[in-house]
Amino acid sequence: MDNQALLVAITIIASYLLGSIPSAYLAGRLIKGIDIRTVGTRNMGAMNTFYEVGFVPGLIVLLADIGKGAAAIAIARALELPVPLEYLAGVMAWLGHALPVWLRFRGGKGGATVIGIFIYLMPWGVPVGLAVFGLVLLFTRFPTFSYSVGLTSFPFVAWLVYHDGWLVAYALFVLLLPALHYIPRLKEIRSKSSSWRTAFIRKSLKDRR
């Protein structure tokens, strides 16, 4: 194996293993003795940790999961790999979160890991995403929906700010990864609501369905 192939293999494996660190699972086990995948929305992610474990653990999990996506891209860039391999590293980090080897490949949806990928690749998208998140949260009081809408701003940032067609395509593809995992959750939310409007407009931040 030549040096370039070795660097690629290291990046792919390291990105997957980073992504597979089950921060939400560890927080639930260590702090409350629960499996985060069996309570609340049953998602191994930061938002479920906020509600089921606590604000500070949720914040730590959020930062850790964001860091996984950013770190994967950073590794590829530090090794001076081509941009397509940076993109692959990000996908591998998400895959590690969704299918962690440590938990028999039963992980979370990976929204925060996607945020980390975008933050590293498109830092100018951060204020835009935060602004969209804040506005949507103000009207809906639904954090998960709000940050999901905020994420959709990144392909536009890739187009209008970075003028990079490949980055636009990559952003759309990466958004599709957690979006597909949210479909069962959307169906569950709709079944508990009288309409789509009541499904997405909550009475308060504590209102969960």
* Each residue's pLDDT tens digit, 96-110: 999 999 999 999 999
Q: Cβ distance 201 to 140 under 8 Å?
A: yes
Residues 85, 36 share a domain:
yes
Q: What percent of the chain has pLDDT over 70?
A: 99
Q: Domain containing 57: what range?
A: 1-121
pLDDT of 209 > 70? The answer is no
Which among 96, 83, 88 is positioned nearest to 174, based on CA atoms? 88
Q: What does the pLDDT read at residue 188? A: 77
> Which of the listed residues 90, 121, 152 is the one where a domain comes to its end?
121
Q: What does the pLDDT read at residue 114? A: 96
1 pLDDT band, cuts 50/70/90, is low
Residues 137, 43 share a domain:
no
119 Cβ partners below 8 Å, 6+ apart?
66, 69, 70, 125, 126
Residues 138, 110 share a domain:
no
Which among 113, 81, 112, 83 is positioned nearest to 16, based on CA atoms? 113
Looking at per-residue confidence, does 33 or 199 come out higher?
A: 33
